[in-house]
């Protein structure tokens, strides 16, 4: 069953399972990246939790929302729940700083001219990761969904179940905090 096709609904379990596997293959990496960006180093178990939740929610999926929006909603809510339950880990910079080494986070390919430039870029990436991790979870979710995942405002509103105005104001507050922290890197 191709994912481009509609959700098979109350079809045989084998068909539903095939659809689920196709879903993982098509959207798995994006969901995994999102989970890592939202919770950092403790994400591996959470990725599995998200897909277990997706599997359990399949019978309720009516195909009215886009599959990606629906997946992002489950993943984001699961991450926010996790962060709420482990509030003490917010700003627990160490685990996020180490997550690249521990959990195979790799930088996107950026052409760098010299070893010095590479060192600067690594430091900068670490600083960005630290600043994102220090944001309050509700602001971080909006910034990650917009600036890293590239979702439109209305998609973020659908994923988080928020009014458009709230999405805009959270994005503004989140970016303001980042601007303050990353100020030196923004001077041009």
Partner 1 sequence: MRCPDPVQLEAFVDGELPAERLAEVARHLEGCPTCAGRVRQTQRLVTLLRRHQEAVSGSLDAGLLLAAARRQADHHRTVRAAWRRSLVAAGLVLALGAGATAYQIGLVPTPAGFSDPFSQALLREHQRFESALAADRELNVQVATLEQ
Please identify, using beta-carbon distances, which residue of 73 and 175 lies nearer to partner 1: 175
**Could you tell me the smallest distance in angstroms from the CB atom of residue 89 to partner 1?**
19
Binding-site ranges for partner 1 (CB under 8 A): 17, 20-22, 24-25, 28-29, 32-33, 36-37, 47-48, 51-52, 54-56, 100, 103-108, 110, 121, 124-125, 128-129, 143, 146-148, 152-153, 168-169, 171-172, 175, 178-179, 182, 185-186, 188
Query: 3-class SS at 146?
Result: helix
157: alpha, beta or left? (left if phi > 0; alpha if psi -120 to 50): alpha
Please identify, using beta-carbon distances, which residue of 10 and 88 lies nearer to partner 1: 10
Tokens of 68: 């990606």
Cα–Cα separations (whole angstroms), residue 66 to 90, 155, 167, 183: 30, 10, 19, 37
Please identify, using beta-carbon distances, which residue of 21 and 81 lies nearer to partner 1: 21
**Could you tell me the smallest distance in angstroms from the CB atom of residue 178 to partner 1?**
6
Please identify, using beta-carbon distances, which residue of 60 and 87 lies nearer to partner 1: 60
Contact yes or no for 46/35 (Cβ under 8 A): yes
**Could you tell me the smallest distance in angstroms from the CB atom of residue 6 to partner 1?**
19
Q: Which of 169, 167, 173, 159 is nearest to 77 (CA)?
A: 159
Please identify, using beta-carbon distances, which residue of 33 and 89 lies nearer to partner 1: 33
Burial of 83 (0-12, 13-18, 19+ CB in 10 A): buried
**Could you tell me the smallest distance in angstroms from the CB atom of residue 81 to partner 1?**
16
């Amino acid at each position: 069953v191709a994912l481009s096709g509609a959700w098979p609904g109350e079809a045989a379990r084998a068909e539903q399972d095939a659809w689920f596997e196709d879903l993982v293959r098509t959207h798995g990496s994006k969901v995994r990246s999102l989970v890592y960006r939202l919770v950092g180093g403790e994400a591996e178990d959470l990725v599995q939790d998200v897909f277990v939740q997706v599997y359990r929610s399949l019978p309720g999926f009516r195909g009215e929302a886009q599959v990606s929006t629906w997946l992002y909603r489950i993943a984001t809510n699961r991450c926010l729940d996790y962060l709420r339950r482990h509030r003490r880990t917010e700003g627990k910079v160490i685990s996020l700083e180490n997550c690249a080494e521990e959990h195979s986070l790799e930088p996107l390919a950026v052409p760098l001219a010299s070893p010095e430039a590479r060192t600067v870029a690594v430091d900068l990436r670490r600083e960005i990761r630290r600043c994102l991790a220090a944001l309050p979870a509700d602001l971080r979710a909006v910034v990650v969904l917009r600036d890293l995942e590239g979702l439109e405002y209305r998609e973020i509103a659908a994923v988080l179940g928020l009014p458009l105005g709230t999405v805009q104001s959270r994005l503004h507050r989140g970016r303001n905090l980042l601007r303050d922290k990353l100020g030196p890197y923004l001077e041009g």
